[in-house]
Structure 1
């Protein structure tokens, strides 16, 4: 799956479970291990776990590969490794404390969220009439 499609699938999966403050960063100049970092906030352990499982299920359903999911035990900070994209899902206190944006946020990627008018989710077809 190409990077743009994978990025859209991950964002849609996060939005489906009501992730807050989704940020996407281009890390191609910082590391060779992955091309994007996506950071999102979940309001509880239960929501962070659900967000991670939503990402995993949607990426797999669309033909992508999830290499690993870490942190489901506590649900305070869950990391989903999708190869070219690493997703960090944190509770608000941990996100404020660790400030991952300071580490990875040198080059933000502008993305439209599904709440923006006219955007079709990757999980939907433009031809769908519902």
Structure 2
């Protein structure tokens, strides 16, 4: 699946389960293993698990492949490996502690998010280099 389409599918799946503070980072110059890191916050173990399953189901439904899902047992930090995109879904305390944005956040990708927070519903990224 094309990267921008996969990115849109993942973001929409996260928004469908009300993920908070979704951030997308271009990692093409940082790692040869994947091209994007998406970080999102879930407010409880149940929500982080639901967010991960929403991403997995949406990617599979659109013909993409989810390589693995890790962390469902505790639900505090769930990682969904979609090949070109790695999704980190964390609870607020863990996200604040680990500061993944500091590791992967050198090149944010601008995306439009859902209207329920006063923003426009998902569309393709505004700028990719």
Global fold match (TM > 0.5) = yes
Give me the whole-angstrom Cα distance separating, in 2, the residues matched to 1:26 and 1:67: 20
Question: Per-residue deviation at 1:115?
Answer: 1.7
With normalisation by structure 2, the TM-score equals 0.90
Unmatched segments (≥5 aa) in structure 2? none
Give the deviation of 1:117 after TM superposition: 10
Contact 1:20 1:41 in 2 (8 A): yes
Q: Secondary structure at the match of 1:72?
A: coil
Q: Rg larger in 1 or in 2?
A: 1
Pairs aligned (count)? 129
Question: Which range is displaced more, 113-122 or 89-98?
Answer: 113-122
Unpaired runs of 5+ in structure 1?
Answer: none
* Distance in 1 separating the partners of 2:24 and 2:128: 30
Q: CA offset at residue 96 of structure 1?
A: 0.1
Q: CA deviation at 1:127?
A: 22
The alpha-carbon deviation at position 81 of structure 1 amounts to 0.0
* CA displacement at 1:86 relative to structure 2: 0.0
Secondary structure of the residue aligned to 1:116 is helix
Q: How many angstroms apart in 1 are the aligned matches of 2:74 and 2:91?
A: 11
RMSD, aligned α-carbons: 5.6
Structure 1 consecutive aligned stretches of length 4 or more whose deviation exceeds 6 Å = 116-124, 126-130
